[in-house]
Chains A and B, each alone.
Chain A
Amino acid sequence: MLAFSLNERAVELEVDPETPLLWVLRDHLSLLGTRFGCGMGLCGACTVHLDGAAIRSCSTPVSLVAGRSVTTIEGLGGNHPVQRAWVEHNVPQCGYCQSGQIMSAAALLASNPQPDEDSIRQAMSGNLCRCGTYHKVQRAILSVAAVAHWEPVAEDVS
């Protein structure tokens, strides 16, 4: 039996410990917001937080998260400052990469609330977007960084 915290709720399940977290989320727990893009850690579509840090769930065996805390796009709640900025800036096109982009952005801002353009580009370079929304991603992150009163929520602090 494998136990971990998922979006602040305790989860216990029987699963092959080698199974990547991505497929546990999608196939076992029906949390469909985390996306499968490449399965090799190359695209970032599957990004979630593990104890607040952005990780690629496609390349993380679920055994690795035992006893730890996982947050998915669903766990951000929809009203997270990053998500609000995403809607305001109309970042998504097809939308498929965006859960991953948002999770990477949220982790970046939690560790560095005022990133400059260059650190944004670096931090977000693991997230591919075939639709080419990179500028919007950058602008949305900058807009969150510009809001001085935003305090990262506790979960996001690694």
Chain B
Amino acid sequence: MTLTRRQFIRNVSVAGGALTLGFQLTGCSAKPLQLGNATDFQPDAFLRIEPDGQVILQIPKAEMGQGVVTGMVTLVAEELEVHPSKVGYEMAPVHSAFTDPEMRLQITGGSASIRVYHEILRQVGASARETLIAAAMQQTGLSRDVLEARDGQVCSVDGSVNLPYAELVPAALNLPVVTDVALKTADQWQWIGRYEQRVDAAVKTDGSARFGMDAAPEGVLTAVLLRCPWFDGTVESFDAEEALQTPGVQAVFATEYGVAVVAEGYWPARQAAGKVKVSFTPPGGGLRDSTAINDALLAALDGDDFASVRDDPAVADAEQGTLVSGRYSVPFLAHAAMEPLNATCRLTADGCEIWVGSQAPDVAQDVASRVLGVPRDAVVIHNQFLGGGFGRRAAADNVAEVVAIARQLKRPVKLVWSREDDMRHDWYRPAMAGHIEARVHADGTVSHWQHRIAGPSINQQVLPVLMGAMFPQWVPGGARQLVGDFVGKKDFASVEGSKELPYAFDGVSVSCHNVPVPIPLGYWRSVGHSHNAFVVESFVDELAHAAGIDPVEFRRKHLPADSRERRVMDAAAEAANWGHAAAGRFQGIAVHDSFHSCVAQVVELSLVDGKPKLEHVYCAVDCGQVINPDIVKDQMIGGIVFALSAALHGEITLKDGAVVQSNYHDYPLLRQTDTPPMTVVLLESTAPPTGVGEPGTPPAPPALANALFAATGERQRRLPLRLG
């Protein structure tokens, strides 16, 4: 594909003389993309090269620690023949060019970024390279076959010509973009699979990295919001007399989301907020207490109202073998990212600008435009580094709030959530319950695997919000909710990781039942896998013990000989020296596929005074071609720490519809002292890259529960686990 000359000139003119390589890679965009201009758009463009040769990549995904910036820069740098550390980057503005072609949103999730973009970005780099080489051909009269790109220059093979990219930019401006390019082959790679630095390490070390929390447009005030503790209440009345006496306080007023307290800085705002007396409309009906919710989930398991998502007929006789069954449950969980939610808004002539760290800036844009009553294009999102995301920052409730505040305040304002706000107004990983049973036969085979899952559907709540940004705004909210309700009956997020069993069991059936709750729900690192892996891999362990077979041996028996799961499990077992743990050490294993990757983990623990102590976690992963080995290992380890925090401590409880926990003392995370040593094995693969941000999380809780069983003989089927 070649840009027409007219389109190309338009690109160039808006980019201030820089060579902009624009591609229509992901559908049509009517609006030109104007990088650097807050109110307009520019045609699709990932890359620009400035007259001084500086390469700048637009990052279409959120950087929340998973290393997507480094991964994307590396892919482009590889083909462009520029050292990754020399490639500049910017968080892409909201534009259809940056819409994820699979998810149809500019969203970061599903551990999909590198899987979806690895080839696109290599093409981006290769096209730029070939166009610069074409410019060099024109300039030197040499032919393509005697020129090559190397280290930011186009060179002739005889060494007589060495043209830095900067010198080729003016000529490249007038050439059609070369898009028919051959990508480098794996044996030619310099950086992919080898580069082990993070390009954002320095700014995250010297304090200069800017998160949403650091946005500071001219004249910005700080707001805090007093929200209703239960999720369906609104402000009935409030008394701000005393609060308004606090020095530095500018305004106190009600919004549809709560009472806003605005001051010069966070501290006076928070102090004043403590003096506001608010009454909220009383809570409505529905399930409002953790115990009631738990009872409802268990009652649902005993009912027969289930939607089937998989139902393979069994060959074996339904009366044969030993029936094994288990009932599992997991609690609500908070994301608890280190950066509390926040968002900053400045009204503009026709809309507003928002500074926020968002996993879905187009959803943020859509939400803001609805609150302000302006077209989406009138909302400009400046995406920032995210101080952790884990799914939480795909929601835009913080954005809706700040826009509602700015709309009334008519001054630039930053809304800062306290840690308590963040803990008590999350979009929670839902509490779930599962009943699972199967028949184990004398030869160790398994039949009649039946898994019933009861719990609230995430997508019934979240899809209508996301669809707001996917569809034209005239599509009514009611229609979006209808889709959500429909999906909620068989929510893929409820059953993922249980439906796709890697084991060759005879007669697998999986079904689910939606139990709606008046509590906001959201995606939490690995989503449905976060609970289904615990249930399935714990229960496989139960079956192994019922069959009297070693858990690794048992899994091996049921995993096809040439399967990826078996290779990964064997690698983890080998790293852990499975079966030969030192005296007093106990091991548990789990293997789980998620986000197109496969991860197996062995948790090893000891008993100190009868109390289990984590000693080591061994992890093996097959995630296809690795781009940055160090980052993949870090994601595995980070995913395990995240999972173990939940398995050992994580529990959000509700009382009268409000969340009880408030800060890190009652929602503890693993600390430096609690984190055991870990070993990560990356399996070699030349298959296309798959997910790494989430797949490290699901296996850790069942591997830990299985190790606990090995140590104590007690099967724990509920999270968080009790350690002595």
Contacts and interface: CB of A to CB of B under 8 A. Distances in A.
Interface of A: 16, 19-20, 23, 26-28, 30-40, 42-43, 45, 72-74, 76-78, 83, 86-87, 90-99, 102, 120-122, 124-138
A84 to B, nearest CB: 9
Contacts of B198: 90, 92
B672 A125 contact: yes
For B65, B214, B386, the residue with the greatest tally of chain A CB atoms inside 10 Å of its CB is B65
A96 B338 contact: yes
A131 B641 CA distance: 8
A40 B222 contact: no
Contact of A97 (B63, B268, B338): B338
Given A37-B339, A73-B206, A86-B201, A96 B388 contact: yes
A139 to B, nearest CB: 11
B196 interface: yes
B266 A36 contact: yes
B672 A98 contact: no
B197 A42 contact: no
A53 B97 CA distance: 49
Contacts of B418: 39
A16 B247 contact: yes
19 contacts: A23-B266, A27-B265, A27-B266, A33-B206, A33-B208, A36-B213, A73-B206, A94-B65, A94-B386, A95-B203, A96-B337, A96-B339, A125-B673, A126-B671, A129-B641, A130-B337, A130-B669, A131-B388, A134-B672
B223 interface: no
A18 to B, nearest CB: 8
Contact of A95 (B385, B639, B665): B385
Contacts of A39: 418-419
B263 to A, nearest CB: 10
Contact of A98 (B66, B204, B337, B637): B204
Given A27-B267, A94-B386, A130 B338 contact: yes
B630 interface: yes
B664 A43 contact: yes
B661 interface: no
A95 B65 contact: yes
B211 A96 contact: yes
Interface in B605-662: 630-631, 634, 637-642
B397 interface: no
Interface in B645-698: 663-665, 669-673, 675, 677-678
A127 B338 CA distance: 11
B385 A133 contact: no
Given A33-B208, A132-B637, 17 more contacts: A35-B338, A38-B664, A40-B664, A43-B419, A43-B664, A83-B205, A94-B204, A95-B65, A95-B205, A95-B387, A98-B204, A102-B205, A122-B673, A130-B336, A131-B338, A132-B670, A134-B671
A16 B272 CA distance: 13
B704 interface: no
Interface residues of B, number: 65
Given A40-B665, A138-B672, A131 B202 contact: no
A134 B675 CA distance: 7
Contacts of B210: 32
B64 to A, nearest CB: 5
A143 to B, nearest CB: 14
The 5 closest A-B pairs by CB, nearest first: A33-B207, A132-B641, A95-B204, A96-B387, A94-B65
Given A93-B66, A98-B204, A131-B388, A43 B338 contact: yes
Contact of A132 (B213, B673, B675): B675
A99 B207 contact: yes
Contacts of A122: 673
B201 A128 contact: no
A93 B6 CA distance: 42
B339 A35 contact: yes
Contacts of B211: 35, 95-96
B340 interface: yes
Contacts of B631: 90
B663 A135 contact: no
B675 A128 contact: no
Which among A72, A97, A131 has the highest number of chain B CB atoms within 10 Å? Answer: A131
Contacts of A45: 338
B216 interface: yes
B67 interface: yes
Nearest to B264: A27
Contacts of B67: 93
Contact of A92 (B200, B419, B642): B200
A33 B210 CA distance: 8
Contacts of B292: none
B205 A91 contact: yes
Task: Name the residue among B201, B385, B386, B672 with the largest chain A CB count within 10 angstroms.
Answer: B672
Nearest to A31: B207
Nearest to B265: A27
A32 B214 contact: yes
A91 B201 CA distance: 7
A10 B198 CA distance: 36
Given A90-B201, A93-B67, A94-B339, A128 B207 contact: no
Given A87-B202, A95-B200, A121 B634 contact: no
Most buried by A among B209, B639, B669, B670: B209
A42 B337 CA distance: 14
Contact of A93 (B65, B247, B265, B336): B65
B283 to A, nearest CB: 27
B340 A92 contact: no
A72 B593 CA distance: 43
Contact of B663 (A28, A31, A36, A42): A42
Contacts of A28: 265
A37 B385 contact: no
A94 B338 contact: yes
Contact of A128 (B196, B203, B634, B669): B669
Contacts of A92: 65, 198, 200-201, 204-205
Given A27-B267, A30-B216, A94 B205 contact: no
B205 A78 contact: yes
A78 B206 contact: yes
Nearest to A82: B205
A2 B205 CA distance: 30
A33 B387 CA distance: 13
Nearest to B342: A36
B640 A132 contact: yes
Contacts of A72: 207
B114 to A, nearest CB: 15
Nearest to B246: A16
B385 A94 contact: yes
A83 B201 CA distance: 10
Given A27-B266, A125-B672, A37 B340 contact: yes
Contact of A135 (B203, B222, B248, B637): B637
A39 B672 CA distance: 20
A94 B214 CA distance: 14
Given A27-B222, A37-B419, A125 B671 contact: yes
